[in-house]
Amino acid sequence: MKKIIAVDGPAGAGKSTVSKICATKLGYTYIDTGAMYRAVGLKVLSSGKSVDEDLIIEMTRDIKIELDEAARVFLDGREVTKEIRTPEVSRAASDVAKVGFVRQKLTELQRQMAVRGSVIMDGRDIGTQVLPNADLKIFLTASVSERARRRFEELKQKGVAANLATIEKEITARDKQDSEREIAPLAQAEDAVLLDSTTMTIDEVVAEILRLAKD
Ligand code: CDP
């Protein structure tokens, strides 16, 4: 059985949904690295100050980010699990994710979290930068219209008012920023398995990852 699994891909590809299910089935720890960038984004936004690189670095220096077994997220000791899921925080997460200091700090934390193995970690740079020696690397994607539709449904279920066309625009902009940034851009690792989930159900994606994790 593969002990360290990395799942990367663009926004709304279903990484966290399938990673969570796989982790439960395998008895592994699920680590949502996007939640960590979101926590930094939320902290910067909540400061109310005008955002520049110096502020982002200052806010990250002594930041405390914790993820528990139930995938709850704590920022400086306060639970922010729901608060980090808004479109504003998505944008802020992608902005802070460009800053080298932030990436270094979170990458270090993520490696520590994976040290004991039996983990499935999802993000943008897990297979390429954070855990280049992962036993299994998945690059999970789907068409942008399908990813926008999924995010729309997710927000609707949470009772958040949303517009499909706006979501598609936001996802496209964030993917572009994440793929084009200088440090650790969103990219498929050479040795990653590409899974296009556009026409696959969650169960099918989970089954495929579990099959790949077995050999
Ligand atoms: O859930 P969704 O796919 O929309 O995003 P997420 O995984 O929560 O990540 C939010 C943002 O954090 C991304 O748009 C990236 O800019 C950044 N991120 C990153 O740079 N590196 C990671 N390993 C994970 C997330």
> Which residues line the pocket of ligand 1, CB cutoff 6 A?
11-12, 33-34, 37-38, 90, 93-94, 97, 123-126, 174, 178
Mean pLDDT of 96-105: 98
pLDDT, residue 122, reads 98
Percent of the chain beyond pLDDT 90?
91
Q: Which residues of 142-173 are buried (b: 16+ CB within 10 A; e: fewer)?
A: bebebbbbbbbeebeeeeeebeeeebbebbee
Query: All domains of the chain, ordered by start, with CATH?
Result: 4-214 (3.40.50.300)
pLDDT, residue 16, reads 96
Write out the two tokens for 102: 């932030």
Q: How confident is the model at residue 110 (pLDDT cuts 50, 70, 90)?
A: very high
**Which has the closest alpha carbon to 6: 124, 102, 181?**
124
pLDDT, residue 1, reads 86
Model pLDDT for residues 23-57, shown as the tens digit of each residue: 999 999 999 999 999 999 999 999 999 899 999 99
